[in-house]
Amino acid sequence: MTCQDHKELMMAYLDDELNDEQKVAFELHLASCADCARDLQEFKKLKRMTDCVALAEPEDRIWDEYWNHLYNRIERGAGWILFSVAAIALLIYGGFELVETVIENRTVGVLAKIGVLASIGGLAVLFVSVLRERVYFWSRDRYKDVRR
Amino acid sequence: MGTVCDQSTAALCDSHQGRREAFEAIVKRHMKDAYFIALGLVGNREDALELSQEAFYRAYKHFDQLNSKGKFFPWFYQILRNLCFSHLRKRRVRKAYESRIGDGGLQAGDPESGSQSEVCDPQSDELADPFDPAMLAERNESNDRIWRAIGQLEEKHREVIVLRHFRDMSYDEMARVLFCNRGTVTSRLFYARQRLREILEHEKGGQNL
């Protein structure tokens, strides 16, 4: 084993993650390598310093309210999906009704009829484009296929 | 870190409780781990809370895709870390853009004039993630320095330090949540600590710790 291999093993030694056999082999190497022995002392010091760092606990109310906040988010997500589906259905229905009314109405000029048809057509193109983009990104969603 | 990788989550999901109740129990079991890991990765309390909740929300949405419910936490951890790292990248790009506007390098309202690679240099000290020592339980000069130095580590190095030191995970647990082997964990931890040493020694003008 090279000195570099031993330096990586040094971490497991520091964190008490080596088995007895590995520990003995590592200590044997330490006895013959001043460089690694010096590094070990430095890493020990760093570990002691890092072990002293602890993150502050937030107030209890954060934990008390954690699930409620999350549940509200889940509920709103479902609400938005339902609302969006309904709004799209209503828009499509309204669009057809509007086109039908305008086309059949003889008092409406040709230019106005073309304008209504063009705007409905434009909206349809936008809708299909956004939908296609969504499907494209959904199919590449990094979480979608995470299966363990 | 007894609760992170155990099998009891499976029992919860196999019980006769509804999906919502089962998920509530899982959230209550893992919310502290999620919050503290996010805090260790992004260094900001509000962002950590928001990101940890967003990760649970996404996990809930895709819960059916988890084949083995006993492996919830490693799966969830991937969602959480991706969210945190993506958040950090956006923050750095925004910060770089703002600093370039401040320097007159870019015209305001012209964010497209610099490519992302030009704008974002994660190695820049100015763009190091701001790790506020106010997040620490006990403040002193040494703790503040370590915390700020963690904020300067690369993401893959920062996460092993966070998992080991702030969540007290064993190497086997870390290997499970990072989807790698023990050797990779050991190696990553070595380079993370070596880099941490370099940053701290650099701050002390090249002296040993």
Task: Please name the residues between 38 and 97 in chain B that touch chain A, using a CB distance below 8 Å.
Answer: 39-40, 45, 49, 53-54, 56-58, 60-62, 65-68, 71, 74-75, 78-79, 82
For residue A12, the tally of other CB atoms under 10 A from its CB is 21
| Facing residue for B209 by CB, picked from A9, A45, A57 | A45
Max distance between CA atoms of chain A, in angstroms, equals: 102
What distance in Å separates the CA atoms of residue B146 and residue A46, rounded to the nearest whole number? 9
| Facing residue for A148 by CB, picked from B68, B135, B209 | B68
Give, for B194, the enclosing helix (H) or strand (E).
helix B182-203
Nearest chain B Cα distance for residue A21, angstroms: 17
| Facing residue for B137 by CB, picked from A55, A67, A148 | A55
Find out whether B166 and B119 touch, Cβ atoms under 8 Å. Answer: no
Percent of chain B with pLDDT over 90: 54
Structure tokens at B81: 């870390």
How far from A85 is each of A80, A89, A92, A96, CA to CA, in Å? 8, 6, 11, 17
Average of per-residue pLDDT across B91-113: 67
Q: Does residue A78 sit at the B interface (CB-CB below 8 Å)?
A: no
What distance in Å separates the CA atoms of residue A98 and residue B136, rounded to the nearest whole number? 62
pLDDT score of A106: 86
A145's CB contacts (< 8 A; 6+ apart) are B65
Pick the more confident residue, B111 or B190: B190
Pick the more confident residue, B203 or B76: B76
Q: Does residue B171 sit at the A interface (CB-CB below 8 Å)?
A: yes
Task: State phi, psi for B128 to the nearest 5 degrees.
Answer: -60, 145
Confidence band, pLDDT 50/70/90 cuts, at residue A2: confident
Chain centroid to Cα B207, Å, comes to 29
Find out whether B84 and B52 touch, Cβ atoms under 8 Å. Answer: no
Find out whether B153 and B123 touch, Cβ atoms under 8 Å. Answer: no
A127-145 b/e with 16+ CB inside 10 Å = b? eeeeeeeeeeeeeeeebee
pLDDT score of B66: 81
How far from A62 is each of A45, A57, A65, B21, B139, CA to CA, in Å? 35, 10, 5, 20, 22
What distance in Å separates the CA atoms of residue B166 and residue A55, rounded to the nearest whole number? 7
Neighboring chain B residues of A62 at a CB cutoff of 8 Å: 35, 49
How many residue pairs bridge chain A and chain B with CB atoms within 8 Å of each other? 118
Chain centroid to Cα A146, Å, comes to 12
> What is the per-residue pLDDT across A76-110, written as a single tens digit (0 to 9) for each?
988 899 999 999 899 889 888 888 888 888 888 88
Single-letter code of the amino acid located at B16 = H
Average of per-residue pLDDT across B80-96: 90
B124's CB contacts (< 8 A; 6+ apart) are B96
Mean pLDDT of chain A: 88
Chain centroid to Cα A33, Å, comes to 46
Predicted TM-score (pTM) of this structure: 0.76
Which of A40-44, A69-73, B7-11, B193-197 has the least mean pLDDT? B7-11
Task: State phi, psi for A55 to the nearest 5 degrees.
Answer: -85, 145
Neighboring chain B residues of A54 at a CB cutoff of 8 Å: 136-138, 166
Chain centroid to Cα B58, Å, comes to 17
Task: State phi, psi for B136 to the nearest 5 degrees.
Answer: -85, 145
3-class SS letters over B2-71:
CCCCCCHHHHHHHCCCCHHHHHHHHHHHHHHHHHHHHHHHHCCHHHHHHHHHHHHHHHHHCHHHCCCHHH
Q: Does residue B184 sit at the A interface (CB-CB below 8 Å)?
A: no
Picking from A10, A49, A55 by the largest number of B CB atoms within 10 A of its own CB, the best residue to mutate is: A55
What distance in Å separates the CA atoms of residue B198 and residue B209, rounded to the nearest whole number? 9
Residue A142 to residue B82, Cβ atoms within 8 A:
yes
Give, for A103, the enclosing helix (H) or strand (E).
helix A60-104
Residue A146 to residue B75, Cβ atoms within 8 A:
yes
| Facing residue for B62 by CB, picked from A51, A69, A143 | A143
pLDDT score of B16: 43
> What is the per-residue pLDDT across B157-203, written as a single tens digit (0 to 9) for each?
999 999 999 999 999 999 999 999 999 999 999 999 999 999 999 98
By CA distance, what is B70's nearest residue in A?
A148
| Facing residue for B31 by CB, picked from A11, A53, A63 | A63
Residue B34 gets the label, from left (phi > 0), alpha (psi -120 to 50) or beta, of alpha
Domain extent listing, chain A: 3-51, 60-139
